[in-house]
Structure 1
């Protein structure tokens, strides 16, 4: 993959430099279809929209790729018409006095509609004021989210481009999805792995004897990709199900994936947050039985001898036997031993999800999977080893060769002087700003994204982070786009306090989300279906180039994010808009340039046997261009080059080998992340003494939305219970508590309380409940979330000092039947506009 990525990047750069000059204003047909069908794309796939009288009446997949349904593709109309922000809005207290705007009223205050031009001038004025009074580190543009999948409409990049050119900003690192794994894995295997191609499915299906799905729900999570989904993996999971291979699912929950494999797989249900103890016991059994690959360990890894001392209890006095683990994870010692031997005796592919590392000490899970796979000695062999992205963006579907769409970039830090844009800070004549010469796409400073609330609440405090010290800045101006952090961040009540600290919060948003309601200034922006764009499909495959055609007119006066930032540039400084737009490029100019870059790559490679037409012809035809995999990509095996020659193909670790013991981490001296995989007791779990609550709450990715996206659509009708987010509770537990299916229940702990609708079945084991993340936060006057937002209940502390990821799956709660108190209002208002808005 490293070689392939390098070659792909080299081709892209070469082709970009060879792009001929062309007149701005492509003559492609941009007239809207009033009656008929339009092909476009979204995170959930290439879509075909049916339009009647200028309105969307139906949306579906462009073409069928498997027998696995994807309901996310059917709600385009609701994403265009429901819960929309219908005008630029300013919070009343902020409009009255921006210098003293009463931030404590955010989420409670009335809103006032203002003309678009007035809102633009207000944002530009207050941004300048903040920079002048408090400096660059007071400006936060840390947007992180599943924004638009298009190459131009990438809201986060457009924001960063604007903030960079106007002088810089504070950003964030990492993400909520893989916060722990993406930090620990470079120490262990030299790269993140979680966002890299996997050993491809044809190789797995041909060579693997045992396939383990550990903590993953691919039939749910593969409904989408960060770009446009190619939907390539469902057909392979169907083939796996029917292959006769031994399939083992390790997950506390009975997910839709478990049901998909029902009768074809063995389901093992450990206690939540105890997977590391189970893996350690498997490693201990392999060690003591002699069923481990000594040659692989000595040739391709470092530090096993030190880890061995820990396994045998010589480090801490506790041997990590299957009997020891049984008391922790709830899986019989006999089963642990049988699994360990089965994995060793057969070519085994361990496919692991990300949910396990979103837990206290989450770094240990993926480190331990790599260690266990190293003991099996199958890493780099066809169908053996591990993979951390089979459940995401169709990892394992063979990569295709063709053109690659480039995207708009985040620009460079610029200089504004006397109201004029002077150019990049590292340009000639800008030596006085040499200390602020930053590479493109970087912030003046950054902190881990999961520490958002801590950073806002504790300016000046110091954070240990992966061997470094970070001092939180004093942020007073937040500009957030393409995301919903009020629902995304753990411990919502703490997060609300944090969002009431800065003087100014600006949000570009399509809908009245909880985040929009907690802002001061809101710009209504277009959905992906109200603007034109272009994208690749497949985060790994690059299978298609998709025309993301505008389906309907822009609704309710909404502007494209690109237009908002161009207008802000005009208001902020002379000459800035021309630099931002690179000489006045329009939406279609950018799209044409992106297409022609890719087309030049394709047309220069005769071996592909494809000739891409002119942009105008391609755009007007409105069909995706599809590329094919190569023989090399169809036989790709992760770490095969490393296994063939660990010296010439060394990993990116200090030793060049797999580091079971990391001297780098050892030198950090952290008490919550040792130098080898370790079992740490979580801050809350079912095995602890003096539990603060009875049930372990798991808050996985929902099946019928993308985090909080689509919560307001018709899809909610298929899963809401008692008008709320459903919570799944075991039948025996429900009987003890007097809860029946369909009941309204209160779920609570010391951090907060929510309402949910009870679903009673055996999808969860005893003393475990499931409440999917992403429901829009909707508090009443007593702080009770009426819509069932899981993060009201979760804990906001880091995984460890190493990664500072989130621990959303480490959480205990109580649950009880609920009847409203006299006079208490529990009317759902999550999808309604706030006071003063239309």
Structure 2
């Protein structure tokens, strides 16, 4: 808690990137990070200038062409004009359209799109609000499963180790690493720009301090990947530059070294794992004639063979931890690095030990590496969805373009539903999704697209009905996360811009028009809902004998500390301690190095044990460079791209692309130049920055710059693809599934060429409202 507030009228609030005090002076907001946070996130700076930015949506808007012509498939351009409407008019119009689709085609013709990152608040959580509304008022909806971040790992981990949460968030903690770990081998690194962010909010960013303490104790950190700075300076890490997409080859070679030198833990494998022998035959080359030794992997990965062998031996010389980042599995065959690293860790034999073994995605979010809180946190019920149809989240273009077409997923043969209406609240698929020209074409297919948003994102610009939503600073809520000890009363900081309303108010009015108002609201105001959602937490605190203030007292105090559960290693520690009493939730109850279940699916792109499968897309004469499109350091996904901190790190209003000096010199590119990055799917402009922290032959362009096709929104061509003048790399990435098992996204890596842009570059207009707004 703040001992003395930075301004007498400041109130406490929380965001995905931190807890803070905020004061609104009528023109802008003053932000002061929570004093208990040892490493506050600079992303908090995006609130500066955001509340009244020109990009905010101020009134309900309807696409002119849809208003004139009515529902139906139509060409939707990002530059199309809109018409202002009054709230009652647009809500009547929208309620009628929802009833038309629901009653005429069934709720299975409605796709409920949301990605859940709109707010740290547990009540004004867009994903919960839209799903609750569609369930109650429309009889359900077609949903998406899994995530863009962890599409492959979220499906493969339950087959081989158990619950995703148990492996990623309830496993090895930073406290354990501080005290026990001798070697952290991080494939893809553990960039603190990612751990700055957590759903539900975060009050203490502990990762840099933990790595510093561990390094000073003597822990060795090694990052394997194409970028040196995927581990922070505090880790004093060694960097092993690796060709993008070749991590699995290195993992297999380390496993081969342990096997060939008889350094693997046979006793651990016998007791805790199943299917090692088929994997061992593959490592030896019995099945395909090619041993997966260090010399083989060195030729593929560019990591020296002696280095591979030395690291393999180091894994068994002390307490070691193998970490795989989300980035590795956001690629074709992305299931393989997750599985291969788990198999390697099983051979080392330290899974379940404090600070040792395997932790998928440690450092990927602020949730990971922390103790759980010992009480439940507020959660809004979404109700029951009776519609069985779903898609893996990254297959939205496939669904819209191919209604009725079959697809494989996790052992099932399914069909894409026929979607007439897309309702989106919270999220910008023109950030998350790949091959934006194809996505743009896909959004021409529905009869109606509805969006709630606080700003004119690209998704809002392709919608037919656009409803202005408040941003987090304009509403009251509760911030809480299952791994953060502070629960925050998120006080409203500023009045809503224009006529913006919160999602709950919008859905309440729509539900009333659809004769479902009482069922949706349950007769509660926002504050009554907050008190209702707070009560299970208060009751659990009281049962533990902890401080359990009433809701009114909590709201007055603005925050309370939540007790934490013991750091007991979770599912994997319990399994190691007693595998008979605590079997893993896998088909065998053990670690599955070979999976009979997966083998039984018969997928040639995901066989029964980890294998090396090079990407089918490789550099060639037309596209000789690798593009790394990772998460940005200046914002959460594309949120508040127009905010102060995000804008301060752009050059000439464009996103920055990093190149190695040798790569740039061969193309006559200097720091600050506008460059064109292109392949067969499209092109984008970016500002060049030369850096030896990036491997030669690699271009690094983060995601999150709002898609800005130019000129005038016409920069999407059926033949030439999409052309973004702002620097969105997803005009270049492939829209294919990781495999038939998971159908995750492949947005992390692709192949491109780049050149210095000739002539005057088009102006960036990504944050300028459309005509009529």
Q: 1:665 to 1:369 in 2, by over 3 A?
A: same
Instruction: Give 2:84's aligned residue.
Output: 113
- Shift of residue 717, structure 1, vs aligned partner: 3.4
One of 570, 574, 577 as aligned partner of 2:517: 577
Give the distance between the partners of 1:714 and 1:542, measured in 2 at CA: 27
Q: 2:611 matched to which residue of 1?
A: 678
- Of 618, 627, 635, the residue aligned with 2:554 is 618
1:627 aligns with 2:598: no
Distance apart, 1:34 and its partner CA: 10
Q: Tell me the residue number matched to 1:314.
A: 286
Q: Match for residue 766 of structure 2?
A: 830
Q: Hey, what does 2:3 align to over in structure 1? A: none
Kept in 2: contact 1:742–1:758 (CA 8 A):
yes
CA drift of 1:232 comes to 4.1
Moved beyond 6 Å, runs of 4+ = none
Aligned twin of 1:768: 698
Asked if structure 2 preserves the Cα contact closer than 8 Å seen for 1:75 and 1:713, the reply is yes
Rate the CA distance shift 1:591–1:55 in 2: closer, same or farther, 3 A.
Answer: farther
- Alpha-carbon spacing, 1:136–1:65, altered in 2? closer, same or farther (3 Å): closer
SS of corresponding position for 1:211: strand
User: Partner residue of 1:710?
Assistant: 640
Deviates more, 1:729-738 or 1:33-42: 33-42
Distance 1:685 1:190 in 2: 33
Distance 1:771 1:160, change over 3 A: same
Distance (whole Å) between structure 1 residues aligned to residue 259 and residue 742 of structure 2:
29
The 5 Å alignment of 1:622-771 reads 622=558, 624-629=559-564, 633-636=566-569, 639-686=572-619, 690=620, 692-771=622-701
Distance in 2, Cα, partners of 1:523 & 1:619: 30
Cα separation, 1, equivalents of 2:58 and 2:94:
19
In the comparison of the two structures, how many residue pairs are matched?
754
Equivalents in 1 of 2:413, 2:598: separation in Å? 15
Deviations 1:414-457 (A, max 9, x none): xxxxxxxxxxxxxxxxxxxxxxxx3xxxx431010000111100
Which position in structure 2 is the counterpart of 1:515? 459
Deviations 1:194-246 (A, max 9, x none): 55322222222222111222213331111110111132423323322332221
Contact 1:212 1:247 in 2 (8 A): yes
Contact in 1 for aligned 2:252/2:340 (Cα 8 Å): yes
| Deviation larger for 231-240 or 35-44 | 231-240
1:379-430 Cα offsets, whole Å, 9 max, x none, are 11222101124211242222333x43322111235xxxxxxxxxxxxxxxxx
**1:178 equivalent in alignment to 2:118:** no
Which residue is 2:497 aligned to?
555
The alpha carbon displacement at 1:273 in A equals 0.4
- TM-score normalized with structure 2 length: 0.95
Task: State the Cα deviation string for residues 669-693 of structure 1 (Å, max 9, x = none).
Answer: 011011000000102234xxx4540
For 2:739, the equivalent position in structure 1 comes to 800
**Superposed CA RMSD:** 1.8
Q: Does the Cα contact within 8 Å between 2:9 and 2:23 map onto a contact in 1?
A: yes
Q: Is the 8 A contact 2:62 2:84 kept in 1?
A: yes
Q: What are the residue-to-residue correspondences of 1:272-421 with 2, within 5 Å?
A: 272-391=244-363, 392-401=365-374, 403-413=375-385
Does residue 65 (structure 1) correspond to residue 37 (structure 2)? The answer is yes
Aligned with 2:51: secondary structure? helix
Query: Match of 1:25?
Result: none
Gaps in structure 2 of 5+ consecutive residues: 1-5, 717-722
Q: Which residue of structure 2 aligns with residue 428 of structure 1?
A: none
1:718 and 1:499 map into 2 onto residues whose CA distance is: 32
Q: Deviations over 1:293-321 (max 9, x none)?
A: 01111111111101111111111121111
Determine if contact 2:63/2:465 at 8 Å carries over to the other structure: yes
Seen in structure 2, the aligned counterparts of structure 1 residues 237 and 258 have a Cα distance that, compared at 3 Å, is closer
CA distance in 2, matches of 1:195, 1:321: 29
**1:55 Cα deviation from its structure 2 partner:** 4.6
Quote how far apart the aligned CAs of 1:333 are.
Answer: 0.7
Cα deviation digits, residues 96-116 of structure 1 (max 9, x gap) = 12144x620342321000001
Alignment-derived partner of residue 536 in structure 1: 480
Contact 1:211–1:348 (8 Å) recurs in 2: yes
Q: Find the aligned partners of 1:197 and 1:107 in 2 and give their Cα distance.
A: 42
**Residues 167, 572 of structure 2: 8 Å contact kept:** no
1:256–1:464 distance in 2 versus 1, CA, 3 Å:
closer
TM-score after normalising by structure 1: 0.88
| 1:591-625 CA distance string (max 9 Å, x none) | 1112222112112222x3x2x22222221232x10
1:474 aligns with 2:414: no
Q: How far off is 1:94 after superposition?
A: 0.8
Deviation at 1:190, TM superposition (A): 2.0
Q: Deviations over 1:495-532 (max 9, x none)?
A: 00001110100000000000000100000010011110
Does the 8 Å CA contact 2:116/2:126 hold for their aligned counterparts? no
Q: Following TM superposition, by how much is the alpha carbon of 1:50 offset from its aligned partner in structure 2, in angstroms?
A: 2.3
